[in-house]
Structure 1
Amino acid sequence: MFFAQEDSLGLVEHEEGLQFRAICTYERLYQAGLVPGQFLAVTAPDWNNDDAQEFLLVRFLHVTTQREGMLDTCALHGRVIGHCRFDKRTADLFYYAGLPAYGAPMLAPACACHALPEVLLQTILALPGHSFELGHVRWSEHIGPQPQRVSVVMNLDEIVGKRTAMFGKTRLGKSNVVKLLMQGVLEATAKTRHVGQLVFDVNGEYAHNNPQDGNFSIAAAYPERVVVYHLSSHARGKAEFLRYNFYDIPDRALAIFSELLAPAILETPEVRNFLMIRLPEMAALRQGSSEARIIAFRKLCLYWTLLQDAGFEAGENVRTEITDCGVANAGFSQGLRMAAWQAIRSKVAPPLPADFDEMNEEIRVISIFALKYPNDPNLRTNRGEVFDDEDRTIQRLLCQTNSVGPFFLRECQQFHSPHATDFVHTTLRALNEGKTVIIDLGSANERIMRYFSRVISMAIFVQQERKFITNAMGKFFVQIYFEEAHMIFPVEAAGKHSTDIYARFAKEGAKFGIGIIYCTQSPTSISYSLLTQTENFFVGHLSSRTDVDVLASVQSLFSPVKHDIMQCRLPGFMRVLTHSRRFVLPVQTKRFDPRERR
């Protein structure tokens, strides 16, 4: 029997709904070391039999005093959270929300309030399956004379495929909890590798070593299972970079430029006209009729020359294409070549271009000639004009005849590398191998962050959706971590962009094995529809009553602890509500230490 009558704090005197009070003495309360928020138990002798012990799980709220004659007594006030049944034969404990079928405490005159034994609290908090330690129970900032130190674990199934929110003021431990979750997933899937993690690291705190974490980061602690992509070119050590080779992806390059260029540049008419051009794929150089291949090659040569003049270094692929196709002369007749070189360079046309640099020079010469002498008969063939309107748009930029020139592209030069690989493809492959991919966006502005986040997120959603449709998903999950979530899930977006990739994450992600963990300071800055879909909450200190009211409106279980959330400011002190636990648990999260895995 867990609850002996002589160990009770006092008898329950009054009950109204889920609220109750028990009469006790100050000495009993002091000896028990109770603090507000602590879990207690209410039970009666007839709730205990040979098979089971039943009790009400209650939360201690506060104490009032009253004088009866010459004596001062205390009234312990609490609120029923739910009721529990401990099976004595199997040692299993079952939790049920609300009051039991046999009614409220007032139905049993001998109901007494007890401190909850640690062994029962541990049983209540236990979770089956792959679990990892999150911290320990801490009822309030003041721990009392007899502090309980019951460990709190997090189950892998609580996190993967679910929506998890992190709220709280800055510097109070949100990122530390994120690291614990990432570490827990890595440890729990060390053998199965059935969960891939993607982290959009806007401050570089997951990719780079941090003195407060023992000078280790997630990336440094798990080098064999973590891949880091950096946006900044100043990354130290082994690094992959978020880069495109714009020479090799002409069919996608202009759409990417449209995302990366500043709005002021995009408003320029010449730039808008350029970005509306549909450039052919590299494969077009080897497909179709000979005439179609020549037209495609000519258009790509114009584009490639524009890139070179903008300062983009060319890689081996494009140089090989020029070498292989240069003798095709891009469809330029010998008469056009002779007229152009004579008029522009005052020299005889050289032999046909044989490499990348020679082709670029010829493209410049003939483009200047075409713009300066548009009526020259050499610019026409039996089938029409050599250059179409799209070609002339590129030529005007190349020759700077419209005061813009190729220099508008230099803003995108930081995202180019002649050695770049397809980082989206390699990211998906790493996730499928159960690795953690960190996208270090520490040097990016909000517009660039949004772009790379959206591109990679869309690719993940498409991949997982395809797996679901083809019944190939199995038990594989992808967890995506969003810092500064108010930029990704803004409150004003609710209901306006139902096809937005992030809205689809919130509504359909669980079906496709996609879990999201999003962090921000305020619940009011996040889409309300996402809040209503969220299963797990980690809530630190919030100073605004509006914030806690919104939180309580989404999850009524936060209503009793609203005052605590606004009052307590201890770093790492979280109010935690998870998918399986149907009560808010105050947790002092442990400090992330990657050396624990060694």
Structure 2
Amino acid sequence: MLNHLNQIAGDNDLVKLLGDFNKTFVGYVYGMRFDEVLVLTNDAWKHGVDGIPHNSFLIAAGFNPEKFHNADNIDKEVLLLRVLEPASLPQDGDFVRTRIEHHQRRTADEKLPGDINDGMDPITHAELQTGGLRCRILGTFYMQDGKLRLGSDIENFMTLSRLRAYKPMGNALKTIVNHVNPEVKQKAEDDSRKAGFNSIPSPINIGTVRYTSTARMHRAKTEDLVDVQIQPSDFLARRTAVLGMTRTGKSNTVKTTVSAVALAALTDGIKIGQLIFDINGEYANATSQDDGSSIADVFSNTVCYRAIDTPDRQHFRDLRINFYEQPNIALGLLEQLSRETRGNAQDITTFLTSSLDEPDPREHSPHNRWQVRRAVFYCVLHAAHYPSPKNFKVEFPVSQQVVNLVQVQLPADFPSTISRGNNQQFYQLTLDQATVWFTAARQVNRASPLPSSSGRGWVDSSLEAYLNILVNESSGGTYIRGYRQLQEYVDYHSNSRQGDVVQEILGLLYDGQIVILDLSAGPVSIRETLSKRVAVAVFNRQFDVLNSGAQPINIVIYVEEAHNLIGRDAKLTDTWPRIAKEGAKAKIAFVYATQEPSSVHPNILANTENWFVTHLNNDDELRSLGKFYDFGDFLRSLKSAQDVGFARIKTLSAPFVIPTQINRFTPSEIKEEIIKINSQNGKI
């Protein structure tokens, strides 16, 4: 009967946390508060567990694991601890004095270490091994309804503590770092089903437990490595910070996250759009750090964009817009770009602040005037040396009366062919021909206003400003910069692009693809302007779908150098802060990477659910980080340890920070996983 009870005790999840308790024992709790405990240990016990590293986990229990069934109910719990630093003992002064006196009595041949007692008597040597440890209480493991749970505090502390301390290893440590409470797991499953998953996505191994930069003992063998798992659902409609200095593994972490989300979506056959603002070209292009592969090489459903002409048109699409194809968007972009440099001259202000949005074709007069303004706009672009699409023609309606009046100012060989349709006649001219015609029309109109069927004059105030810009002359005959003011923005234009790039990107995201905006090439101003335009469109589309009563799909946005976009002085009504602050409502997940957490808007930091932090070398940045969760315990190691991929992780599902060596982004393994998933889904 007793053996049967012991067997039941050994199967209890609380007892399992102690592992092989005869080998994992490291000391006694001799002091306790609601947030900390003091542990009495010695060198022999540390030796038995290969040391107790800084920031390592310990657990403490007040029951006898061999007689768990006899334990009082109040003792049936396990405290989770983190080692912070050594703690002083009352007798430390005597210990130091004894050690000094022993060293002073050494002879010349005792300079090198001696036997196991190093010249002391066994009793003295054993006493001098004793030391204290100060540990943070991270929570309490206990059983409820037959399931293991973790509370984030303790209910009581005993002045005369019966707690023994153990170092969790192997499966016990794996259980601790990957524990998710039942209600959290149920919430994640409910959210996952709403997002289209069949159930909660399988967790992925993000890395292995690593306590210190010096990892000679606790990571000596492969079997010593304990996997740290994260839930892909933690990143959907959440904010994630990836913080650390350059070359400490930020981009590797982001790539691993992108892969995790993509694999989870592939497994369940759902659509999750991922949009990467690639400042340094690390995701669109292969690098030596990733076995010569990139995200684009690994996932076939990846589309890359650049804001420059590139010979690799098959791999990179053009992020810019075609000003001739989308004149309304082009004019708005020019207005935005020139606000600080154009001054307040009347013609350029009227020109840039006008609208080229198409009126209802049934409203003939406004629609005709729009077509004429659009035609002049094309001529302005041409004059400013914006390359036009091949064989581009300018078409605009014109009455025979206006044709006859302008004809006298045109060269004798000017083409007189006019198209007819819809009870109207149209000029269809090359850009050079149209420029000549509108220049002549302006001259005629200055002498005597050209008539129109409406009686208001064919050249209204808006068209007059357009014509003045075209010829670099004001209505009074003085020189103005005109179209020359637009020449500096020619790099924003692509004469090869077809269709609205923003709508194209939105379509790809809603099709569940990965879109990478390679912003490493091209002028900074172009990158910022075009990327913001895409971000605004994503934000508006998601909220439009949400406000219509439908469910938007999940979209994950990744941003490098995020302090430039969501800085602490940014207005929360600006585009990027709104995405970071409000996007979760419309299923926009925001993953931001930066070296400067103190420069990120505090409101956004305060609402960030997931954290990946590597090395930070600045005390100001560390103090900023120390305000969140239990990162304060890691500030010293974050400053000193510069190992690539050595991160401290806090995710939505995990109630405490876990020191982790992030797995290296390995394209070959991911490709194998993709093949495996496709095979299981019958796609191969």
What TM-score comes out, normalization by structure 1 length?
0.88
- The answer on whether the counterparts of 1:485 and 1:519 sit within 8 Å (CA) in structure 2 is yes
Which one-letter code corresponds to 1:54 in the other structure?
E
- The answer on whether the counterparts of 1:95 and 1:124 sit within 8 Å (CA) in structure 2 is no
Partner residue, 1:212: 289
- The answer on whether the counterparts of 1:135 and 1:589 sit within 8 Å (CA) in structure 2 is yes
SS of the aligned residue for 1:208 comes to coil
Residue 542 in structure 1 maps to residue 597 in structure 2: no
Deviation at 1:280, TM superposition (A): 4.4
- Aligned mates of 1:39, 1:513 — CA distance in 2: 35
210, 213, 221: which is aligned to 1:138?
A: 210
Deviation at 1:234, TM superposition (A): 2.3
Partner residue, 1:423: 501
Residues 4-63 of structure 1, C-alpha deviations (whole Å, 9 max, x = no match): 467521222222442222222212112312211110111122687349952111011233
- Aligned mates of 1:296, 1:317 — CA distance in 2: 22
- The answer on whether the counterparts of 1:270 and 1:404 sit within 8 Å (CA) in structure 2 is no
- Aligned mates of 1:330, 1:441 — CA distance in 2: 48
Q: Which protein is bigger by CA-based radius of gyration? A: 2
Partner residue, 2:557: 480
Partner residue, 2:233: 157
Partner residue, 1:106: 159
Residue 413 in structure 1 maps to residue 487 in structure 2: no
- The answer on whether the counterparts of 2:236 and 2:588 sit within 8 Å (CA) in structure 1 is yes
Deviation at 1:293, TM superposition (A): 4.0
Partner residue, 1:569: 642
Deviation at 1:350, TM superposition (A): 4.1
* Cα distance change of structure 1 residues 560 and 309 upon mapping to structure 2, 3 Å threshold: same
- The answer on whether the counterparts of 1:484 and 1:520 sit within 8 Å (CA) in structure 2 is yes
Residue 340 in structure 1 maps to residue 406 in structure 2: no
SS of the aligned residue for 2:273 comes to strand
Deviation at 1:431, TM superposition (A): 1.1
* Cα distance change of structure 1 residues 331 and 503 upon mapping to structure 2, 3 Å threshold: farther
Which one-letter code corresponds to 2:177 in the other structure?
L
- The answer on whether the counterparts of 1:313 and 1:418 sit within 8 Å (CA) in structure 2 is no
Unaligned runs of 5+ in 1: none
Partner residue, 1:123: 175
- Aligned mates of 2:660, 2:431 — CA distance in 1: 65
SS of the aligned residue for 1:28 comes to helix
Deviation at 1:189, TM superposition (A): 0.9
Partner residue, 1:581: 654
* Cα distance change of structure 1 residues 61 and 359 upon mapping to structure 2, 3 Å threshold: closer
1:180-259 to structure 2, matched below 5 A, reads 180-190=256-266, 191-223=268-300, 225-234=301-310, 236=312, 237-259=314-336
- Aligned mates of 1:26, 1:356 — CA distance in 2: 95
Which region of structure 1 is more displaced relative to structure 2, 72-81 or 165-174?
Answer: 72-81
Deviation at 1:111, TM superposition (A): 1.5
* Cα distance change of structure 1 residues 510 and 254 upon mapping to structure 2, 3 Å threshold: same
- Aligned mates of 1:356, 1:21 — CA distance in 2: 90
Partner residue, 2:247: 171
580, 589, 599: which is aligned to 1:525?
A: 599
Residues 444-489 of structure 1, C-alpha deviations (whole Å, 9 max, x = no match): 4443333223221222122221222233216x31110111101110
Residue 57 in structure 1 maps to residue 57 in structure 2: no
* Cα distance change of structure 1 residues 11 and 364 upon mapping to structure 2, 3 Å threshold: closer
* Cα distance change of structure 1 residues 531 and 353 upon mapping to structure 2, 3 Å threshold: same
Which one-letter code corresponds to 2:310 in the other structure?
H
* Cα distance change of structure 1 residues 552 and 330 upon mapping to structure 2, 3 Å threshold: farther
Which region of structure 1 is more displaced relative to structure 2, 310-319 or 241-250?
Answer: 310-319
Residues 55-103 of structure 1, C-alpha deviations (whole Å, 9 max, x = no match): 111011233573567330222322211111257x96x43111111x3x2
* Cα distance change of structure 1 residues 104 and 312 upon mapping to structure 2, 3 Å threshold: same
Partner residue, 1:440: 518
Residue 391 in structure 1 maps to residue 414 in structure 2: no
Unaligned runs of 5+ in 2: 1-14, 99-123, 186-199, 420-425, 474-478, 673-684
Partner residue, 1:596: 669
Deviation at 1:428, TM superposition (A): 1.3
Deviation at 1:308, TM superposition (A): 2.2
338, 343, 362: which is aligned to 1:287?
A: 362
Which one-letter code corresponds to 2:654 in the other structure?
R
Which region of structure 1 is more displaced relative to structure 2, 557-566 or 403-412?
Answer: 403-412
Partner residue, 2:435: 364
- Aligned mates of 2:442, 2:581 — CA distance in 1: 54
Deviation at 1:576, TM superposition (A): 0.8
Which one-letter code corresponds to 2:151 in the other structure?
Y
Which one-letter code corresponds to 1:287 in the other structure?
R
* Cα distance change of structure 1 residues 485 and 146 upon mapping to structure 2, 3 Å threshold: closer
- Aligned mates of 2:559, 2:24 — CA distance in 1: 48
- Aligned mates of 1:202, 1:567 — CA distance in 2: 27
- The answer on whether the counterparts of 2:237 and 2:589 sit within 8 Å (CA) in structure 1 is yes
- Aligned mates of 1:595, 1:588 — CA distance in 2: 20
SS of the aligned residue for 2:341 comes to helix
595, 611, 630: which is aligned to 1:557?
A: 630
SS of the aligned residue for 1:442 comes to coil
- Aligned mates of 2:635, 2:390 — CA distance in 1: 62
- The answer on whether the counterparts of 2:348 and 2:465 sit within 8 Å (CA) in structure 1 is no
SS of the aligned residue for 1:562 comes to helix
- Aligned mates of 1:375, 1:9 — CA distance in 2: 97
* Cα distance change of structure 1 residues 558 and 16 upon mapping to structure 2, 3 Å threshold: same
* Cα distance change of structure 1 residues 49 and 265 upon mapping to structure 2, 3 Å threshold: same
Partner residue, 2:188: none
SS of the aligned residue for 2:241 comes to strand
* Cα distance change of structure 1 residues 543 and 466 upon mapping to structure 2, 3 Å threshold: same
- The answer on whether the counterparts of 1:24 and 1:76 sit within 8 Å (CA) in structure 2 is yes
- Aligned mates of 2:82, 2:413 — CA distance in 1: 94
Deviation at 1:264, TM superposition (A): 3.0
Partner residue, 1:23: 40
- Aligned mates of 1:452, 1:592 — CA distance in 2: 29
Which region of structure 1 is more displaced relative to structure 2, 211-220 or 13-22?
Answer: 13-22
SS of the aligned residue for 1:574 comes to strand
- The answer on whether the counterparts of 1:335 and 1:378 sit within 8 Å (CA) in structure 2 is no
Partner residue, 2:54: 36
Partner residue, 1:10: 27
Partner residue, 2:104: none
RMSD across aligned C-alpha pairs, in angstroms? 2.8
* Cα distance change of structure 1 residues 334 and 10 upon mapping to structure 2, 3 Å threshold: closer
- Aligned mates of 1:587, 1:331 — CA distance in 2: 78
Deviation at 1:568, TM superposition (A): 1.5
